[in-house]
Structure 1
Amino acid sequence: MAPYQFIERPSPFNTSAGKTLPIFAVTPAHIETGTIDPIALDWARKACFTAESGAVLLIPSADGHLGGALFGLGSNPSEAPFLAGKLARALPAGKWHIETAPLTANRLALGYGLGSYRFERYKSAKGEPPTLLIPADADATDIKRQLAGVFLARDLINTPTNDMGPEALEGAFRALAAHYKADVSVITGEALLTQNFPLVHTVGRASAEAPRLLELRWGKKGHKKVTLVGKGVCFDTGGLDIKPSASMLLMKKDMGGAANVLGLALMIMDAKLKVDLRVIVPVVENSISANAFRPGDIYRSRKGLTVQIDNTDAEGRLILADALAYADEEKTDLLVDMATLTGAARVALGPDLPPFFTDDADLAHDLTEASLEVDDPMWRMPLYNGYDKDVSARIADLTNAPAGGMAGSITAALFLRRFVTNAKSWVHFDIFGWAPSERPHSTVGGEAQAIRALYQHVQKMTR
């Protein structure tokens, strides 16, 4: 079965049928020593092409037509494993193949595929992209699977809330489940109260579209149990503690945690990994209305712990609290939650390096190893117990917004930890879900973070 696509798009790859133009991927040493195609070398020297990292130079054929391209790798190609993504945006339309490249076939093809991503759903005119022949020694099936997962996450985040509110996100969730024949259950609106998801209902009740809890099950009982939980805040006004307008501009991405766990679930299901998979996504829009929850309110969570609302803009941890408590009612081998949760995480590590939190040292080691193996960056941050007291409230069990503003990503993780007691291993990812500047393997916009590394880790769990 071909990987699921939320938005259908042409493949960035071509087949070996028909003529393809060559790309000579070279370092400055290739130019200096003359160890490339003579025609390409002559053109490069006449054009003063020095093979700087990411530089592209089109070269003519002997009869004056387009004959191929030179692609600069710089002096240290290993420093930019997905540099080939630049080719997907720099080459003219046509069929291409790599003639020479001191890069691994999988990194080259995956990099090109990642860089080929376009979000053109709202564009009137769409250009014809170039396509690349996947090297014969690359794992084409797995590359396409990973691209599908990353593109699903990017598409969901990039889609504006008028087309990706709670109802539409449920639709995408159901479509993914149907494609892989997974079971789905949904709890919506007032039923959240009768089925004991009070915090999900509280945060989402002011929206025109009802809050809901989405659940997917796939795989076989008896296999390693993996549960994924993703924050699905389709838009965050901040609630009554309203955000300034500049801070609301990117709030369509506040469901980035949900988008990323769905991308990861796609990879797991498409690879038919031997896991008992469960995906839980609490979905809300944090809106302002007469029935919006207020600063100073106190609500009882699914777990029974009471939470004092000291800031309505700290809503993500509230819906995750109910979802994690629900997930934790079934003992799982690996419980992962992903959320665009705190600005403090961005201050600490920036937009491209998502922090993760876990008390499991072995899991932290394995995730770091997987991250390095697949070049999907992440960094472990401490669940420092000395700050746990800051999560307590004077007249309730917990506060959703500790005073002082210090160590915000850590205290958010400590808050979530209160709702996980049975899982064999739990890890929390505080992702940004957005690329604020163009990189070789991505344009500005929604981004998948840590899910290729998590996919690598889950694969190892099942071997």
Structure 2
Amino acid sequence: MSTLIERQPGGRHSIAIETTDAAHYAATRRRLSAAQRRWLSDSGFEAAAGTFALVSDPAGKLVRVLVGIDPSDPLAALAALPCALPEASYHLAAEGVLGDAALAALGWALGAYQFSRYRQPKRAPARLVVSMAERQQLAPLVEATAQVRDLVNTPTEDMGPAQLAKAVRQLGKTHKAKVREWVGDELLEANFPTIHAVGRASHRAPRLVELSWGKAGDPKLVVVGKGVCFDTGGLDLKPSDGMRWMKKDMGGAAHAIALAGLIMQAGLPVRLTLLIPAVENAVAGNAMRPGDVITTRAGLTVEVDNTDAEGRLVLCDALTYAAEQKPGLIIDFATLTGAARVALGPDLPALFSNDDALALVALEAARKVADPLWQLPLWRPYRRMLDSYLADFANAGASRHAGAITAALYLERFVPADIAWLHLDTYAWNDTDRPGRPRGGEAMGLRAMFALLQDRYAR
């Protein structure tokens, strides 16, 4: 958070950043000297979105930065600047055309992120001066986003099931929450058979991690995250290009951990349970096989049609356990299906819910905080695509149609209809570098869900 600094009376000098666009550029130029206008003309700056120009005084000292923006996208307005501008302190000028300064400051901070575990950053980011209130509002969101990115970016050798559990324990220690784990064969003894089945072939034991926090009289909330730390596809082995980035298959767990941290840091009046089923889907002699039938915690039998549809298997036992606690709301995050990416692309997490009114509230919360979601339907006639000839149903089927929907329909079977449920099928990844969205792990839907919970549980 050192990239956002509080405004201090008599503090260090900061350089003005003035936002503008094609419609307001003429007015922007009129506020400048003749020499500065000539410099802008010679440099070719015309206030196109995503461009900037450095403006100096007669002595050659940098005194202002003009930034071309798209006023409809304040989150992206300043996001490219922290590692592009000279290392100095800056502030937003009042003359700019930007509407939501807080959202722009958040974009600045997200754009300053650098993953530095394995190599030193090339440079320190520039700093943006904000008010104390803005920094207090934004700091938790920036830190939570960085946590998601860090967890997802870390290679599996350093982020296996035990390390993911350690992240939950550290969170519990910070917020004085209770944490417990079921590891290896303890999963069978405690009746979590599908989590065990997916993870048993790895040399690193599967586990379910539970964090509990909050006061007894507050409403119950359960957050679940898919923690497949690496996914080979199992015996239905992925091709090399499909396996290359499967360290990110625990992106749902990263989101759930970060959201739990936001909830506890904000002191929301809830009884929170965080559930992280953490496994590696590996290949060995004891790996689950296509055609195996597993009796889930819920007592429903599932035929393993495809060992690469493992995420829904680890989630179904966790969702069953979540429902046993009779919460008012369950939220799960999962990097669940490639079909969601085919349907919506990499930037839009698919949202599913068994409560249409709640889904609308979630979509509105997402819009307000510029963290987009897109609702897909739980089209129940598609349940037939998961029919099995010998079990209650299968974890996948022969059809490639509606893969994100059928995965969500699989999960829905484990959530009672009287418990509100939100399921986010999120990519958790940026394929390329963009302003505010560096290549690698990404938080998608995190701020939207926190905004929803802030409104839902406001005191």
TM-score between both structures, scaled by the size of structure 1 = 0.94
Distance 2:237 2:298 in 1: 28
The equivalent position to 2:123 in structure 1, one of 102, 127, 148, is: 127
Is 1:334–1:423's contact at 8 Å kept on the other side of the alignment? no
Tell me the CA shift for residue 79 of structure 1: 3.5
Matches of residues 377-416 of structure 1 in structure 2 within 5 Å? 377-416=372-411
Give the superposition deviation at 1:208: 1.1
The separation in 2 between residues aligned to 1:35 and 1:64, in whole angstroms, is: 20
CA offsets per residue over residues 205-261 of structure 1, 9 Å max, x none?
Answer: 111110000011111122222110000000000011100001111100000000011
Matched, 1:70 2:66: yes
1:23-102 equivalences under 5 Å are 23-33=17-27, 34-38=29-33, 40-73=36-69, 76-100=70-94, 101-102=96-97
Q: Higher mean Cα deviation, 36-45 or 197-206?
A: 36-45
Find the counterpart in structure 1 of residue 273 from structure 2.
Answer: 278
1:358 paired to 2:353: yes
| Counterparts of 2:122 and 2:269, CA distance in 1 | 40
Shift of 1:127: 1.4
Distance 1:92 1:286 in 2: 45
**Which position in structure 2 is the counterpart of 1:113?**
109
Paired amino acid for 2:76: F
Q: CA deviation at 1:40?
A: 4.7
| Structure 1: gaps (5+ residues) | 1-9
The counterpart of 1:418, out of the listed 409, 413, 417, is: 413
Equivalent residue for 1:195, pick from 176, 179, 190:
190
Contact 1:391 1:414 in 2 (8 A): no
Q: Deviations over 1:70-108 (max 9, x none)?
A: 2111xx411453321111232121111122432222112
Residue 341 of structure 1 and its aligned partner are, at CA, apart by: 0.6
Letter in 2 for 1:13: L
Shift of 1:274: 1.1
- Stretch of structure 1 that moved more, 252-261 or 32-41: 32-41
Q: Deviations over 1:132-174 (max 9, x none)?
A: 10146x5321211111111111110011111101111111111
Q: SS of 1:153's equivalent?
A: helix
Instruction: In structure 2, give the amino acid aligned to 1:99.
Output: A
Indicate the residue corresponding to 2:6 in structure 1: 15
Superposed, 1:210-225 pairs within 5 Å as: 210-225=205-220
- Offset of residue 15 of structure 1: 3.3
Q: How does 1:212-361 map onto structure 2 within 5 Å?
A: 212-361=207-356
Letter of the 2:160 counterpart: G
C-alpha distance after superposition, 1:422-444 (max 9, x if no partner): 65201111111111122322111
Q: Pick from 428, 432, 437: which aligns with 1:437?
A: 432
Deviation track 1:45-77 (CA, whole Å, cap 9, x = no partner) reads 33221011111212223212333322111xx41
- Does the aligned pair in 1 maintain the 2:6–2:131 contact within 8 Å? no
Provide TM-score, normalisation by structure 2: 0.95
The letter of the residue matching 1:11 is S
Q: Number of paired residues?
A: 451
Structure 2: tracts of 5 or more residues without a match: none
Partner Cα distance (2:38, 2:168) in 1: 54
Return the alpha-carbon distance in structure 2 between the equivalents of residues 41 and 272 of structure 1.
51
- Contact 1:237–1:288 (CA<8 Å) still a contact in 2? yes
User: Which segment is superposed worse, 166-175 or 57-66?
Assistant: 57-66
Spell out, residue by residue over 1:300-348, the C-alpha distance to the aligned partner (whole angstroms, 9 max, x if none). Answer: 1111111111111000000001000000001111101110011111110
Indicate which of 425, 449, 453 corresponds to 2:448: 453
Name the SS of the counterpart of 1:54 in structure 2: coil
Deviations 1:439-461 (A, max 9, x none): 32211111111111111110111
| Partner Cα distance (2:228, 2:376) in 1 | 24
Alignment partner of 1:150 is 2:141: no
